[in-house]
Amino acid sequence: MTSFRSFLQICRHVSTKPTKRFVQVCVIGADTPGGQMTALLLKQNPAISALHLQGTSRVESMGVDLSHFDTRCKVESYYDMDSVAKSVKCADIVLMMGLNTSENKMTLAKRVMAEGPRVVKLAESCAKYAPKAIIVVAVSPVSVMLPIVAEVYRKTDWYHPGRLLGSVAITQIKANAMAGQYQNLDPQMVHVPIVGGPDLDCAIPLFSQTVPAGMSQKDSEKLLQQFRAEIPNPIMSQAYGLNRMITGIALGLNGDDAANVPAFVRSNIISTCCHMVATVKIGRGGVIHNYGLQKLYKYELAMFEEMCLQLKLREEMASDLVHRKDKCTLPAFMIKEIEEEKTAKLGIIR
């Protein structure tokens, strides 16, 4: 009887003890400047056991170079015709990087058309070859690209909103750095809650609720004007933020109870838009808890309502791009913009 009780205690200890997993990360578009810098940081990340680099033939030399790092992370390169399918297999986290073909001066519709069709194909491959992997979308504009991935996954049997995350890397670290420098605090000890969208033009940093010390409305509005300014070439800042985000996801996959990350995710908080930035808790299967929306002041609530309408329009753009009947034709939002440009050239005011 005593031996049987001892056996039960051992079984309970084994079943309740968190098991350590080996997290494998695939970087799609690793040959881009942002992908190279992100791969450099992920290779040194102790939470990552394997790194799959997908891109052009340049990723082969990258893989050879990174393999000389004396870290436990193994590096494999994929650059042939079936590189996407081979690289995402066995991956726990798939990171989609942009090709940087669009410029910030381009209109939103043109930026979506520059990256959107590629993202659709990548999402189809991920849904087919890595249906249970966590997808992190870091292709700008994230507020359109993540809904595109979600619409593609809805056509399959593997749609799980808790496994589709949009990157808030640049937005979060820029807000933290600005608040820390303004208050003469260590930016690593500062956290600014973000609501709204994931991009700089649609995100709302709540400087009034900055931890450890909030700011007045006057200071918040002053910092918000500086926050809207575009970063000329955010390669290193994006890589730093993505490495932090993937670290949190990897810890969550390993069973860490404190694996909380800010992300652009599916949300049911309001009916205006389906996706919103929030702090979420990561578990073994993806997002297991959404901490929701913070209490907003009156001036913050006005900005939030405006941004929700913008997010709704961007979700409609994603739906038009994915659900168009003929892939050779332009989506409705692009046709509308072309007509507006023609009207502007003719000098006609309607």
pLDDT band at 102 (very low <50, low <70, confident <90, very high): low
User: Which sign, positive or negative, has the C-alpha torsion 46, 48, 50, 52?
Assistant: negative
Q: Report yes or no on 176 lying in a domain.
A: no
Q: Residue 157 burial (CB < 10 Å; 0-12/13-18/19+)?
A: exposed
Q: What is the domain-level CATH number for residue 139? A: 3.40.50.720
Q: Residue 256 burial (CB < 10 Å; 0-12/13-18/19+)?
A: middle
Mean pLDDT across the chain, nearest whole number? 90
List, in sequence order, every residue forming a beta bridge with 211; answer none if it has no partner. Answer: 191
- Over residues 28-39, the mean pLDDT reads 95
Summarised one tens digit per residue, pLDDT across range 211-267 is 999 999 999 999 999 998 888 888 999 999 999 999 999 999 999 999 999 999 999
Kindly tell me if the per-residue pLDDT of 23 is higher than 80.
Answer: yes
Q: How high is the pLDDT of residue 124?
A: 96
Q: How far is Cα 240 from Cα 52, in angstroms, rounded to an integer?
A: 18
Query: Regarding predicted confidence, which is higher, 61 or 341?
Result: 61
Q: How high is the pLDDT of residue 3?
A: 52
Q: How many CB atoms neighbour CB 221 within 10 A?
A: 13
Q: Residue 337 burial (CB < 10 Å; 0-12/13-18/19+)?
A: middle
Contact between 176 and 187 under an 8 Å Cβ cutoff? The reply is yes
Kindly tell me if the per-residue pLDDT of 13 is higher than 60.
Answer: no
Summarised one tens digit per residue, pLDDT across range 36-91 is 999 999 999 999 999 999 999 999 999 999 999 999 999 999 998 789 999 999 99
Q: Report yes or no on 192 lying in a domain.
A: no
For the whole model, what pTM was predicted?
Answer: 0.90
Indicate the range of 68-72, 86-90, 93-97, 103-107 predicted with least confidence: 103-107
Q: How high is the pLDDT of residue 303?
A: 95
Contact between 86 and 111 under an 8 Å Cβ cutoff? The reply is no
List Cα–Cα distances, 183 to 177, 190, 195, 207, 249, in angstroms.
10, 10, 21, 11, 30
Contact between 102 and 141 under an 8 Å Cβ cutoff? The reply is no
Count of structural domains within the chain? 1
Q: Report yes or no on 10 lying in a domain.
A: no
The domain in which residue 76 lies consists of: 21-168
Q: Report yes or no on 58 lying in a domain.
A: yes
Q: Report yes or no on 293 lying in a domain.
A: no
Q: Report yes or no on 80 lying in a domain.
A: yes
Contact between 90 and 24 under an 8 Å Cβ cutoff? The reply is yes
Contact between 274 and 267 under an 8 Å Cβ cutoff? The reply is yes
The one-letter amino acid code at 321 reads L
Share of the chain above pLDDT 90, in %: 79
Q: How high is the pLDDT of residue 350?
A: 52
Q: Report yes or no on 12 lying in a domain.
A: no
Q: Report yes or no on 273 lying in a domain.
A: no
The SS3 call for residue 272 is coil
